[in-house]
Chain A
Amino acid sequence: MLACLCTVLWHLPAVPALNRTGDPGPGPSIQKTYDLTRYLEHQLRSLAGTYLNYLGPPFNEPDFNPPRLGAETLPRATVNLEVWRSLNDKLRLTQNYEAYSHLLCHLRGLNRQAAAAELRRSLAHFCTSLQGLLGSIAGVMAALGYPLPQPLPGTEPTWAPGPAHSDFLQKMDDFWLLKELQTWLWRSAKDFNRLKKKMQPPAAAVTLHLGTHGF
């Protein structure tokens, strides 16, 4: 009973009955996506620490900030604040979806290269989680009535080992992939938090129907 009550309180913002009309709307999906983003942020912190230690110095040094040389193909998470504020919901979600599609593809390539079995397991687990995030974003977009972005012909994100890449530059790319992923997850948390607030109904109209949880 107590555990159930705690669960309810924890997910109170995501309780579908909080909607005025009784239709849960995109609110719960956004909350779940937000929660998943925060979970992935936490997961990535551990994974990146391990992976960068494998790469060795200078990649595992805290103040290492190399130029973004070979990472042009990675979607940039950094954006001007005004531009970010002015994004509409559709564009915001579309950018997130596209970014994680690309990042997931690169991450799978990273997994293929990893020599250590333990690292491969961690990467595979993270890829699964990231795939889940992608599905969650798609769910939010669907709930809001936005179509999923269609990849342009020939621009399907694929990963292929770059023969021209030296090992050092490859390590640099790996570094940037993890860094961009971290920034994207941070940005997504902001995005979904903003969306979540936006989708919340006015407080006066909130009615809590606990009956849906069996009370």
Chain B
Amino acid sequence: MAPMAVFQTSFLLALLPLSAHQSEVSSEPLSLNVSISSAQQRLHLKWSVHNLTHPELKMAFQIEISRINKSNVIWVENYSTTVQQNQTLHWTWESELPLECATHFVRIWGKEDDAWAPHQRVWSSWSSWVKVDAQSLLGQGPPLVFPIDKLVEEGSNVTVCYVSRHSQSNVSCLLHGQRIPREQLDTHVSVFTLTNVSFISTWGSNFYCENDPDIIAGAEPGTVLFVSKVLEEPKGFSCETRDFRTLNCTWDPRSDTDLPKYRSQRYALFESFSGKTKSCEQKNWCTWQVAQDSQMYNFTLIAENYFRKRSVNLLFNLAHRVHPMTPFNVLFESVSTANATMTWKVHSLGNFSTFLCQVELHGEGRAIQHNASSQVDGQYFFSGLAPATEYAARVRCAAKHFWKWSEWAGQNFSTLQAAPSKAPDVWRSVRSTLGSCNVTLFWKPLSKSQAHGEVLFYNVATEFLGRPSSSKLFSIPAPATGTELSLDGCSHKIRVTASNSAGTSPASVMAIRDPGNQTAEVKEERIQGTEDGVSMSWKPPPGDVIGYVVDWCDGPQESSCDLQWENLGPNATSTIISSDAFRPGVRYNFRIYGISPESTAYLLERKTGYSQELAPANNPRVNISNLTQHSFTLSWEDYATDSQPGFIQGYRIYLRSKAEQCPPEFTKADLPDNSEGCKHDIDNPEQKTFVVENLQPESFYEFLVTPRTRAGEGPAHPFGKVTTREQHAHALIRTILPMVFLLLLLTVLCYVKSQWMKETCYPDIPDPYKSSVLSLLKPKENAHLTIMSAHDCIPDKLEVVNKPEGIKAQFPGARKSLAETDRTKHDYIYLLPTEKSSVGPGPGICFENLTYNQAAPDAGFCGPVPAPHTAPPGMGGLLTAPGNLLRSLEPSYMNSSGETPAGETTLNYVSQVASPTSGHKDSPPTNSLELAPRSEYRMQMAIPPGLASPSPNENSSLSSMSFLGPGEHRG
């Protein structure tokens, strides 16, 4: 339905005059007829004036246009014209609002406007309102958007309306996705004003509305706005002729929207002298036929599109707009080694037969330009050309009244060959061995300007100086750059020439002599490289020289020498040698020869140097020696100074330690790794050892030895590490080692003589016969010296010894070794004087041989009395003390078995007999116990009354038993 409605709207509104809506009343002075053009949004008014008083009358009209209702006048137009009888007058009004958006009303009135008219300034009555209602044609279809597919100019404002029979509260419209504010015109019409519309696409910008689908289903109205860019004035409008028959006009059309649906901007040429106009088919050029009799032209280029018209003028004389055609038939005549003649032709231009031509010659890397006046046939003579050289020549021409050059027309040609103009630059290397002479000749290819053609071969003629007739000739084909000759003797003269197809060059002559040992005789000097090359100078020799030659090897190795040389004049004493082959950090050796008038070369000086010195790439490998408490020696003897990328100027030694002070020879410096340290410079490159002194003992040092060249130091790594020796270590070693040795010697001696030592110093059983006492007694009683037998001994005293240690010895864990117990016996067992020393009433006497009985009573059987060392032991004390002690002891220590525990013994009878079978004094207690049966004495006990019976509650027998081993209870 919608397309049909649009169809009807477009066609009916555009084509049909709205006669149905007009009110034409014959009684009215003016009959008004209104038609509409929907696409252009225009109202076309037509009216005629009834009953004109004169055949021709000047009249004024006023037109009123109302919108929506008659009272809403939106436009009043005053229009004056001359009206004739039965003339229909026209006036058009363009609405900014699409006419489908609202009903419009039109009416008109008029008056006579002539000064002489009788009814001047008296308005006629208004015509009836003519209603223009395009909406009524839309019917009840879906909502629509107007205008339909409008073409607008970029930057303009466009009013769009949305017409619907439904409520429009929820309608929302967008232009290319951008929402546009809505304005309600009436209940069914919403208006949207699009301001400053911009070009987006040649497919147009879509304006579309989104309805609430609940209210209006199946409708998505929209329209497409085609935006045309603003037409610009053409630039660069120009016309010219190449043949005096056609003018070709060109221009730059600038921007063009080029909408596919709408015709693009159009261009037309108007020539004012002839009054002719031509519509141009192209957008940027147009042709115009030249009239035979026209010399002056005044063109107007008119550019036009739907909205605008632009124009640009151009006035010119045809003779001043001649752009000649490209010259043709370019040829060369009489080409020789140095000259050539170029000829060409120019297209005829009627009366214009003289041209200004420009000739250009390219060759030898340069271009030469000449101007030449020319007729239709032109020519130019080139001279001073180089032989055997290819040239490119070209020509272009312009009319006498210069407007534009024609295009170039060119041709290549080559001059003829000539004999080489210069002798080859030759150098040699001579080696003499056993009377023969090996000569290697080198020559440089002649330059193109010297060769004058392709060199085909080189001629080498040798002549022995002693015999001029013995010459030999060698021919070496090009492009060889050298040859090797083996000559009989070195005294030869050598001539070298180059030949091409046109002739032979002058000869390069040199005399060869035995070089001898020149190289060893001449001392080598060091030179420095500069930015320009390696600079060197030399002293002129005393004799005459006709020139100098400096030669060197471009290659780094002797095997890949690539000998180079440079010839210098006789006045030269210095030069700068540069070569693309020179590499930084490579040492080159130069030899300077003087050339004598006899063409003999003599070695004058030898130079060695770098084009650019580099810092050493590696540091020497450093050995450490002579490490002491305060110094160490660094050495790098194997460092090759000659094979470095620069002349070694010396070495720098960096030292890093925890000490704040530097050794005396060093100065404080920032180390290459930005840490602080010390440095010392060695300026002699041949000094490859250094003693670092005045160091702290037992200190850690890091050092780096790096060579120095003009370009800088070697790498900042790696640092070596060394720790100085300890201060007293040496002395200690010198003292301790002999001592240890002596100690070992003594130990060995002692071991070897142990038996003797024992017998001598500490026998197991002292031999009375060997006693020293005997030696003392001998002088007095030398007759009968006998040893008292035990059988003969009648005891007369008994000493009672109270030995609290025995109690002490009963504590668990208190079973010390006998040796230990024995050591204490001497403190607590006393040999008491008989009778006189007896203090107490009880029997408390003990005979004890201090050398003999240590082992017999063990700690339990004969415990020492814990009396103070100084206090004299008394019987009372001895008797009471055990009781007191026992009371203080645990009950468990009271033996209830009827056996007498050793610790409880208060009376101890100790034999004083020295048993022959008695063992070592350190014998275990069991052995000592065995002494009892063999002895004449038995242990007896005097039990105090208070201790006679054990406590009834005593139950510690087990523990007591466990404490005392069975062995200890025997006997």
Residues of A that sit less than 8 Å from B by CB: 54-59, 61, 66-67, 69-70, 115, 162-169, 171-172
Contacts and interface: CB of A to CB of B under 8 A. Distances in A.
Given A67-B219, A67-B220, A168 B208 contact: yes
A66 B220 contact: yes
20 contacts: A55-B203, A56-B201, A56-B203, A58-B206, A59-B206, A61-B177, A67-B219, A69-B2, A162-B3, A164-B4, A164-B6, A164-B10, A165-B3, A166-B223, A167-B149, A168-B148, A168-B221, A168-B223, A169-B6, A172-B220
Contacts of B208: 58, 168
Nearest to A59: B206
B204 interface: yes
A167 B3 contact: no
Contacts of A66: 220
Contacts of B148: 166, 168
A59 B4 CA distance: 22
Given A164-B3, A166-B223, A169-B2, 5 more contacts: A54-B203, A67-B220, A163-B7, A164-B6, A169-B6
A164 B217 contact: no
Contact of B260 (A57, A69, A115, A162): A115
Contacts of B224: 166-168, 171
A115 B202 CA distance: 9
A52 to B, nearest CB: 11
Contacts of B280: none
Nearest to B217: A67
A103 to B, nearest CB: 20
Contacts of B217: 67
B967 interface: no
B173 to A, nearest CB: 11
Contacts of A57: 174, 176-177, 206
Nearest to A70: B3
A61 B3 CA distance: 23
B174 A58 contact: yes
Contact of A69 (B3, B177, B223): B3
9 cross-chain pairs, A with B, having the tightest CB-CB distances, nearest first: A164-B7, A67-B218, A167-B224, A57-B177, A115-B260, A66-B220, A168-B222, A167-B149, A166-B148
B315 interface: no
Contact of B218 (A55, A69, A171): A69
B203 A169 contact: no
A168 B206 contact: yes
B821 interface: no
A56 B206 CA distance: 7
A171 B205 CA distance: 11
Most buried by A among B205, B206, B223, B261: B206
Contacts of B174: 57-58
B200 interface: yes
A56 B201 CA distance: 9
Given A67-B217, A67-B218, A56 B149 contact: no
A124 B7 CA distance: 30
Nearest to A113: B260
Interface string B1-18: 011101100110000000
Nearest to B202: A115
A121 B3 CA distance: 30
Q: Kindly name the residue among B6, B7, B174, B224 whose own CB sees the greatest number of chain A CB atoms within 10 A.
A: B224
Contacts of B219: 67, 69
A74 to B, nearest CB: 14
A169 B4 CA distance: 11
A142 B223 CA distance: 46
B140 to A, nearest CB: 16
B846 to A, nearest CB: 119
B218 to A, nearest CB: 4
A123 to B, nearest CB: 15
A104 B897 CA distance: 134
B331 to A, nearest CB: 47
B223 to A, nearest CB: 5
Contacts of B177: 57-58, 61
A36 B145 CA distance: 42
A164 B11 CA distance: 9
Nearest to B201: A56
Contacts of B222: 168, 172
Contacts of A115: 202-203, 260
Contacts of B223: 166-168
Contacts of A163: 7
A59 B176 CA distance: 10
Given A70-B3, A164-B3, A166-B149, A171 B201 contact: no
A71 to B, nearest CB: 11
Contacts of B6: 164-166, 169
A167 B204 contact: yes
Contacts of B4: 164
A31 B366 CA distance: 73
A66 B220 CA distance: 6
Interface in B136-179: 142, 145, 148-149, 174, 176-177
Nearest to B224: A167
